[in-house]
Structure 1
């Protein structure tokens, strides 16, 4: 009998097998509507990086105050960059994380320490230790989702790229 190699686990497999689950769409929409500031941890000044693409979207298509966190950069898209969450002039409402898996619990603790209200781990990021740290401190936690995609989906923006938003309306929705 020939043995076939197992297919690698996808993030959907991990999400189904985990003990933790994301907030539903109504809760994610409420989170984005109640957010006023977003700190992007792991922000990059390289246009090929996902964090750069998300940053350009948030600056141009959302009402949020956007802070960039990167200990090695000084400016991204004309905005100052802070070395850590603790160096921000205010506690961000939402901490959007573009960091490797092993760094996520530490970033979650930093988000708790500065008084953030939510921790958002980008597509491909799933870390139950980080979720536990943030969740136990009362933060809303979203994992394996993209802030840009979710914001655009909830506010009628994805139709520009050919996606069906599921929104039936002749009017554009107001930005959150």
Structure 2
């Protein structure tokens, strides 16, 4: 089940800060190029990675709980099986939205987000939605 476009566009239009769980070190991977495109469009991108120190010129945090500022969107570049755990962490930090990238789907994460009152988008590329809607910061 993909999220409707209107919800995805609303979530993006209301956001400025995106914590990216699974931001890749490799520029060849979409988990690097997509957050880089969001950063270029003016969004504040906060990398969350277990071992990197700096990605996209930003300090990297090990977990969402370590991020010291409010997060609008938690953008997930991890396998579907890990999405529910990320959803729980997103709820714990008070994120406004959980966004699962293209091909990532999790009924459990959707339920956790709904219970926490967090907007939920799944199986959509955040950079494609941003580009099609013309949303910049």
TM-score interval w.r.t. the shorter chain?
over 0.9
What's 2:136 paired with? 175
Q: Greater RCO between the two (CA within 8 Å, min separation 6)? A: 2
Q: Deviations over 1:65-99 (max 9, x none)?
A: 11000011111122111001001111210000001
C-alpha contact (below 8 Å) 2:80/2:105 kept by paired residues? yes
Mapped to 1, the partners of 2:10 and 2:56 lie a distance apart of 28
Give the alignment's Cα RMSD to 1 decimal. 1.3
Give the secondary-structure state (helix, strand or coil) at the position aligned to 1:53. helix
Write the distance in 1 (CA, Å) between the matches of 2:7 and 2:65.
Answer: 27
Residue 78 (structure 2) aligned to one of 99, 104, 117: 99
> 1:123: which partner in 2?
102
Correspondence 1:44 to 2:24: yes
The 5 Å alignment of 1:9-28 reads: 15=1, 22=3, 24-28=4-8
Match of 1:114?
93
- CA–CA separation in structure 2 for the residues paired with 1:27 and 1:132: 16
Q: Deviations over 1:29-80 (max 9, x none)?
A: 221111010000001111121110112101112x221100001111112211
Q: Which runs of 5+ in 1 are unaligned?
A: 1-14, 16-20, 156-173
Instruction: Please say if 1:35 is aligned against 2:15.
Output: yes
Number of aligned residue pairs: 137
Question: Structure 1 residue 129: deviation in Å?
Answer: 0.3
1:139 match: 118
Give the structure 2 partner of residue 65 of structure 1: 44
- TM-score, normalised by the number of residues in structure 1: 0.74
